[in-house]
């Protein structure tokens, strides 16, 4: 894994966006993997700037979101369909017909999940997957004990995830209990993975996932097996990393073209 420690959350967005843009620039019609949550918003803001300045062309990009709540109307402002539209599709001027979100309101959720996994494969796979991390180490909505071989499927959200996400709803009972999420096996097939984390609440999950044993109790630890995984964190989220100084030294010693900032 490549670990990049940035002085602040803004720099996390800038470095991660530069990495995503570099992968996209290598393809005429890139396939982006999108995450919701607060963590990647700075990436999207930076990508928006690059698109506006003509430094990045995403007009032919396809995108696949990681997950969606089950039982929330797609028009609900906190459905991930709405969130992705508001925070990514519109600002980055993506073609809405090419932005995909799992169908959490499908009659047949298992079929919708299987169709989604197939659609990713048929698009040629994800070139670069953007990831946040839950305080319990989840990526997408792959909660602790998720199978490393899992594909897009229905999951039950843990009490901790529902509590963490309550801030987007008026009360805890409005937070859905289930979701559709790309599996860890699905995510691992992306060519590049860029995980971002900011703030001290993420420090234990970052430390366990980067330096702990690979364990389904910390789902993001599966990324230790990914060939091209970059983890970009601010100082607060890096607080639990034992080899922090080593990561700083490695990054500082890279030639300019291998750095993203
Ligand atoms: C959410 C999403 C994840 C996200 C994580 C962290 O529930 N399903 O994709 O990475 O939790 O969210 P945040 O970035 O808001 O802390």
Q: For residue range 156-208, what is the model confidence (pLDDT) as tens digits?
A: 999 999 999 999 999 999 999 999 999 999 999 999 999 999 999 999 999 99
Q: Does residue 119 surpass a pLDDT of 70? A: yes
Q: What is the mean pLDDT of the chain?
A: 96
Pocket test for ligand 1, best of 12, 35, 104 (most atoms within 8 A of CB): 35
234 lines ligand 1 (CB under 6 A): no
Give me the pLDDT at residue 259, please. 76
Q: Is the pLDDT of residue 150 over 80?
A: yes
* pLDDT at residue 256 in the model: 78
Tell me the CA–centroid distance for residue 37 and ligand 1, in Å: 4
Tell me the three-class secondary structure of the chain, residue by residue: CEEEEECCHHHHHHHHHHHHHHHHHCCCCCEEEECCCCCCHHHHHHHHHHHHCCCCCCCCCEEEECEEECCCCCCCCCCHHHHHHHHHHCCCCCCHHHEECCCCCCCCHHHHHHHHHHHHHHCCCCCEEEECCCCCCCECCECCCCCCCCCCEEEECCHHHHHHHHHHCCCHHHCCCEEEECCHHHHHCCCEEEEEECCHHHHHHHHHHHHCCCCCCCHHHHHHHCCCEEEEEECCCCCCCCCHHHHHHHHHCCCHHHCCC
- How far does the centroid of ligand 1 lie from the alpha carbon of residue 232, in Å? 15
Average the pLDDT over 238-245 and give the result. Answer: 98
* pLDDT of 89 strictly over 60: yes
pLDDT in tens, 20-39: 999 999 999 999 999 999 99
- Residues tagged active-site: 67, 136, 138, 143
87 lines ligand 1 (CB under 6 A): no
Residue 62, ligand 1, Cβ within 6 A? no
């Amino acid at each position: 894994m490549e670990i990049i420690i940035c002085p602040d959350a803004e720099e996390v967005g800038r470095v991660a966006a530069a990495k995503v843009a570099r992968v996209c620039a290598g393809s005429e019609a890139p396939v982006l993997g999108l995450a919701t949550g607060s963590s990647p918003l700075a990436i999207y803001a930076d990508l928006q700037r690059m698109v506006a300045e003509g430094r990045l062309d995403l007009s032919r990009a396809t995108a696949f979101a990681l997950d969606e709540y089950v039982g929330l109307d797609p028009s609900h402002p906190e459905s991930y369909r709405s969130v992705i539209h508001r925070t990514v599709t519109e600002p980055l001027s993506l073609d809405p017909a090419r932005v995909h979100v799992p169908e959490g309101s499908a009659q047949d959720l298992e079929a919708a999940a299987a169709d989604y996994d197939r659609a990713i494969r048929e698009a040629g796979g994800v070139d670069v997957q953007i990831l946040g991390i839950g305080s319990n180490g989840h990526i997408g909505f792959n909660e602790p004990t998720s199978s490393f071989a899992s594909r897009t499927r229905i999951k039950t959200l843990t009490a901790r995830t529902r509590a963490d996400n309550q801030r987007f709803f008026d009360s805890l009972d409005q937070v859905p209990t289930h979701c559709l999420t790309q599996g860890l096996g699905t995510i691992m097939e992306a060519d590049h993975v860029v995980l971002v984390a900011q703030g001290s609440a993420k420090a234990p999950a970052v430390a366990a996932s980067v330096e702990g044993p690979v364990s389904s109790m910390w789902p993001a630890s599966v990324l230790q097996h990914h060939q091209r995984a970059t983890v970009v964190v601010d100082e607060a989220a890096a607080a639990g990393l034992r080899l922090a100084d080593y990561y700083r030294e490695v990054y500082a010693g890279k030639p300019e073209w291998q750095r993203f900032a």
